[in-house]
Amino acid sequence: MKKNKGKPGSTAEKEFVFEFRAGKHNCVLKVPLKFPVQENISDLHGRLMLLHKIPCYIENELKTSLSNFIENETILDFDREAELALQRLTTGDVDVNQLTNAWTRSYVETTLEHARPEEPSWDEDFADVYHELIHSPASDTLLNLEHNYFVSISELISERDMEIKKLQERQAAEMDKVMHELGNTLSDQDVNTVASQHFDAQQVLENKWASELKQVTGIQKQEYQEWVIKLHQDLQKSNNSSKINEEIKVQPNQLSELADSGARMFEEQPQLEESFTIHLGAQLKTMHNLRLVRADVLDFCKHRRHGSSGAKLRRLQTALSLYSSSLCGLVLLVDNRVNSYSGIKRDFATVAKECTDFHFPCLEEQLEEVQQVVLYARAQRSSKQKDQPEIPRNGGDDKSKNVERNPSNILPGEFYISRHSNLSEVHVVFHLCVDDNVRSGNITARDPAIMGLRNILKVCCTHDITTVTVPLLLVHDMSEEMTIPWCLKRAELVFKCVKGFMMEMASWDGGISRTVQFLVPKSISEEMFYQLSNMLPQIFRVSSTLTLTSKH
């Protein structure tokens, strides 16, 4: 009898001996059995009967004796293993304290009964209150109030822009003058001094405005939250809520009329858009909606002022679903640094600051937190890699060098997530890191950017993000090298990969209907757009248009 060192799955072979009489013969049946017995005893019995041609009159006898044998031996095995474990404690092979601490930990961390009592979380309470209010008749009031705050911020911003512009004009004039005198009364050094003075003056002004904006947003946020809580309490106190509602409504309505007089900042852009309904799956099919949109990525974030009714509805829709289980996400392609200093990152930050976020920390704070988490993740990773050095990963060396250089930078395919309540159509923004590789024509389905898309869709599954907007060409702006064949090739790749991921998603979440919006840059031609919209149904096998006609 062999035995391993008490590992699960340790097997031991034991022999089952059964004696019976057949006529004048004494027969002995010996069966080696592997313990723990995995197979069905009835099957084993049936097989023995068949294999050894055992007479049927001892069928039942064999069955009882076989099952008794297995039962007894299994109990013996259990006993032996159990006592081995107890022995390890007495001999000191296993530390009692460590053992009981592990037990305590698993109870404390996983069961409500033993878990530490929850510290009340203000955020979540506010979430509940807000969710309730926005689904009540008070929603209109809330939106109006939010809008008023938005108006005052944008007034501030335009004031700031004006002042900065003035300063710049003045400085430009001054600089002109200086340049004029250059070589006459003033030297290069003087010019430099003036320039640096200008720069400093600009910095001071910008800082001043930044801090003022920050202060105003802080005040707004606090006021707003207090007001929401109070409104909720009031509503709860009095049952005839309608009366109170009327009172609240009057004031903001006046304000909103005021706001209406404000110029419309953003004219509706002529968007190109086409929608499709698809069914995915081999036998069981899930319906999804796809949309191909030609627009600027920030159009999904920018607020339009009240006035156009569509904007307000959109705003309400976003507010209603903020704490629900149908969120909207947007994929933003960024470089490898977590900040908002340049390019699309800065543009996005500008849009995000146009309106106070009454629910979540402002973008800067969120990014700071991300930076901390990135550092933590790197530390975790490297300690893990030290533990398991034998796993070679293709290109892993290359990457780790990169990381060693600056651990706070992120790699292509990785992404960080920010949450917003103040964008027009989006709650969640995935900042997906891509490198210059995406501009080249030859990326494959194994490209980090594509894998990043897959992970984004996975997060969408686990966190109920039912609408997600993806830049189809994996770029936000077009450039020279992006020819028509390049676009077609890229679009085909992304369509196909997303289709594959969506089919995979069905196994992650059990087939929930989703909306995926494919975004193409504004600068592509109409003709190109229609070429892409012709490609989509071929890859996704759109069926709806034809089924409609087939009904008589």
Partner 1 sequence: MLICRYHHILFIHCNEGSLSRSQCFVSGRMRPLRDAQLGAFTFFASALPHDVCGSNGLPLTPNSIKILGRFQILKTITHPRLCQYVDISRGKHERLIVVAEHFESSLRDFQKQGKTASPEKVLQIAFEVLEGLEFMNKHGMVHRALSAHNVLMDCKGNVKLAKFGLYHMTDHGADVDFPIGYPSYLAPEVIAQGSFHPSDPSHDEAPLPSGPKTDVWSLGVLLFELCAGRRLLQNIDISERLKFILTLGCMDDIVTVLAEEHGCLDTIKELPENVLELLRKCLTFLPSKRPTPAELLRDPVFSEVSCLYTPFQKPVSLFSSSLRCAHLELPEDISDLCKDDDEDYLSERAIDEVYHLWCLAGGDLEKELTIKEIIQSKPPICTLPNFVLEDGESFGQGRDRSFLLDDTTVTLSLCQLRNRLKDVAGEAYYPLLEDEQSSLPQSNSSNELSATVTLPLIIRERDTEYQLIRIILFDRLLKAYPYKKNLVWKEARVDIPPLVRGLAWAALLGIEGDIQAKYETIDKDTPIPTDRQIEVDIPRCHQYDELLSSPQGHIKFRRVLKAWVVSHPDLVYWQGLDSLCAPFLYLNFNNEALAYACMSAFIPKYLYNFFLKDNSHVIQEYLTVFSQMISFHDPELSNHLNEIGFIPDLYAIPWFLTMFTHVFPLHKIFHLWDTLLLGNSSFPFCIGVAILQQLRDRLLANGFNECILLFSDLPEIDIERCVRESINLFCWTPKSATYRQHAQPPKVAGDNGFGKTTTYYSSDYQDMPKTDLSREPLALCDLKAEVSPRISAEDLIDLCELSLTGPTKRTKAGKPKIVAVDIRSQEDFSRGHISGSINIPFSAAFSPDGELVQCPATGILQNYRGRVIVVISHAMKSAAMFAAHMVKVNFPRVCILDGGINKLKPTGILTVPSPQI
Exactly one of 275, 464, 483, 513 binds partner 1 (CB under 8 A); that residue is: 464
* Residue-by-residue DSSP string for 378-441: HHHHHHHHHH-TT---TTHHHHHHHHHH-TTS--TT-EEEEE-SSSSS-SEEEEEE--GGGGSS
Length of the chain: 552
Specify the residue, 27 or 506, whose C-beta has the smaller distance to partner 1: 506
CB of 76 to partner 1, least distance (A): 8
Residues 438-457 that bind partner 1 (CB under 8 A): 448, 451-452, 454-456
Residues 350-379 that bind partner 1 (CB under 8 A): 369-370, 373-374, 376-377
Residues 406-435 that bind partner 1 (CB under 8 A): 410-417, 419, 427-428
* Residue-by-residue DSSP string for 135-152: TSTTHHHHHHHHHHHHHH
Number of other CB atoms surrounding residue 358 within 10 Å = 22
Peptide bond connecting 36 to the previous residue in cis, omega within 30 degrees of 0 = yes
Residue 289, beta-bridge partner list? 277, 515
Residues 481-510 that bind partner 1 (CB under 8 A): 504, 506-507, 509-510
Number of other CB atoms surrounding residue 6 within 10 Å = 11
CB 429 within 8 A of CB 332: yes
Exactly one of 285, 317, 406, 483 binds partner 1 (CB under 8 A); that residue is: 285
Q: Does 546 bind partner 1 (CB under 8 A)?
A: yes
CB of 211 to partner 1, least distance (A): 26
CB of 130 to partner 1, least distance (A): 10
Element (H, E) at 482: none
CB of 217 to partner 1, least distance (A): 20
Residue in 264, 340, 332 with CA at minimum distance from that of residue 298: 332
Exactly one of 11, 15, 19, 46 binds partner 1 (CB under 8 A); that residue is: 46
Specify the residue, 103 or 530, whose C-beta has the smaller distance to partner 1: 103
- Cα–Cα distances (Å) from 13 to 7, 35, 79, 96, in that order, read 15, 6, 17, 33
Contacts of 1 (CB under 8 A, 6+ apart): 12, 13, 14
Residues 308-337 that bind partner 1 (CB under 8 A): 322-325, 327
Specify the residue, 58 or 451, whose C-beta has the smaller distance to partner 1: 451
CB of 114 to partner 1, least distance (A): 7
Exactly one of 4, 64, 74, 406 binds partner 1 (CB under 8 A); that residue is: 74
Exactly one of 49, 316, 349, 475 binds partner 1 (CB under 8 A); that residue is: 49
Q: Does 210 bind partner 1 (CB under 8 A)?
A: no
Exactly one of 42, 196, 238, 253 binds partner 1 (CB under 8 A); that residue is: 42
CA atoms within 13 A on the CB side of 532: 34
Residues 75-134 that bind partner 1 (CB under 8 A): 75, 78-83, 85-86, 88-90, 94, 96-97, 99-115, 118, 123-124, 127, 131
Specify the residue, 373 or 445, whose C-beta has the smaller distance to partner 1: 373
**Within 238-362, where are the H helices?**
241-261, 309-320, 343-353
Residue 455: exposed, middle, or buried by beta-carbon count in 10 A (0-12, 13-18, 19+)? middle
What are the φ/ψ torsions at residue 17 (nearest 5 degrees)?
A: -115, 130
Specify the residue, 359 or 490, whose C-beta has the smaller distance to partner 1: 359
From the list 185-193, 302-310, 404-412, 519-527, the region that binds partner 1 by CB under 8 A is: 404-412
Q: Does 540 bind partner 1 (CB under 8 A)?
A: no
- Joined tokens for residue 60: 């039942």
CB 2 within 8 A of CB 13: yes
CB of 74 to partner 1, least distance (A): 7
Exactly one of 39, 155, 181, 397 binds partner 1 (CB under 8 A); that residue is: 39
